[in-house]
Structure 1
């Protein structure tokens, strides 16, 4: 029987190596894609146009699984915790800015059809989706929105969508449960072609010049949050599907 031991050990080691190699291939992709997503969320990745091919399935699993929902809930909880520390004045000048796409409204039904960011952005097809006005709310953001209204914040919606999409955008927001915002700001003719970070900074600056104090700003892109005339606190929601500079 002693001669069987080396054979048994060989078979175990060989099987383990195969399993190990198989797991290594799979785990390496998961680890790489998690690290890639981390670099996106921290803005270390800089400009990128499409999700890496090896990470498309990872992004799909993330966006359609529990993790995306949990991450969004944590952002909303942190936002509300800060909001409750703000002393709201009677002047009506305490503001909070929200982006819309992937911040208040989820375009996941659209991105499910086009590969979760694996293809270059197509403005025509996205505009057709916007016209449907059927994007659902991000549940955590809807809850935060309602809480901020109750606390007394004036809500400003600052989106990269264009002025001609106002009716569809308002219809969609109401459909998703968002009501009583102070102002919906869209790109006008003079805003076309401006980088998002410039356009949104200018619009926040306009609000400040009107006397509003921007305590909080919520967005899924760093270009929603950075630049000038920034909020006291900015809150980045997760979005590994696309990048806007």
Structure 2
């Protein structure tokens, strides 16, 4: 927290006019930091609803958060809570005890792209993914492997389209993921659906096939909620970078 405040302070000091006092500047730094903290809380608790952009004066805050040990720690806590619940599940052994994962910013992270192009940016994103691989979110990779050892069938459910299957598999394998039960992408009939409708609909199809969806992990509320099917427990990873409805 202190290094974030310090960065805000150093930046705003450069903007101080002769009419501004150091006390006024410090007050503004405190106000901006607290606002951005509260804004991020509203995002993670879904109180912000359908938001589109990071507030301009929170771009640096989001960068500091996402590249800090704080984000790593928050992700580890989510994984630890997930694993605690998973260990309480009675695995039947019939292969139908499932855990569903989103992929982008849940299993793999595109943080290197945002560090290069700026937080809040989407410029040349698809071109970047064609030339680069995304690393694993380490807390999720550890959880993924633990769940497999416990006997869960892993289902990967992503908003990427079917033509991206080969690239998606390459991303997953590069990041260290393997042996999933199923990888579900958008087909032609799914185009135009919101993420919430698409993903909850696919979960309903899994349940109709006899799967019991005990856990669901994602970085967006649209990964977890829905009109059709919600897991026994859902776990949201932190993501103040963008929102998907």
Whole-Å separation in 2 of the counterparts to 1:152 and 1:171: 24
Structure 1 contact 41–240 (Cα < 8 Å) conserved: yes
> Offset of 1:133 from its aligned partner?
5.3
Which secondary structure does the structure 2 equivalent of 1:25 belong to? helix
- Residue by residue over 1:4-34, the C-alpha shift from the partner in whole angstroms, topping out at 9 and shown as x without a partner, is xxxxxxxxxxxxx944322111111110001
- The corresponding residue for 1:24 is 27
- The corresponding residue for 2:215 is 216
- The corresponding residue for 2:117 is 114
TM-score by length of structure 2 reads 0.89
| Count of residue pairs the alignment pairs up | 225
Structure 1 contact 133–168 (Cα < 8 Å) conserved: no
For structure 1, the residue ranges without an aligned partner over 5 or more in a row are: 1-16
Whole-Å separation in 1 of the counterparts to 2:132 and 2:113: 12
- Asked if 1:102 is matched to 2:105, the reply is yes
For structure 2, the residue ranges without an aligned partner over 5 or more in a row are: 1-19
> Offset of 1:49 from its aligned partner?
1.3
- Structure of higher CA gyration radius: 1
Whole-Å separation in 2 of the counterparts to 1:200 and 1:130: 23
- The corresponding residue for 2:83 is 80
Which secondary structure does the structure 1 equivalent of 2:90 belong to? coil
The structure 1 residue matched to 2:57, chosen from 23, 48, 54, is 54
Whole-Å separation in 2 of the counterparts to 1:131 and 1:163: 16
> Offset of 1:96 from its aligned partner?
0.1
Structure 1 contact 133–169 (Cα < 8 Å) conserved: no
Please list, as runs of the form range in 1=range in 2, the aligned pairs for 1:1-245 lying within 5 A after superposition: 18-117=21-120, 119=121, 121-122=122-123, 125-132=124-131, 134-227=133-226, 228-245=228-245
Runs of 4+ in structure 1 off by over 4 angstroms are: none
Whole-Å separation in 2 of the counterparts to 1:75 and 1:53: 28
RMSD of equivalent CA atoms: 1.3
Distance 1:208 1:214, change over 3 A: same
- The corresponding residue for 2:7 is none
TM-score by length of structure 1 reads 0.89
Structure 2 contact 98–215 (Cα < 8 Å) conserved: yes
Structure 1 contact 94–214 (Cα < 8 Å) conserved: yes
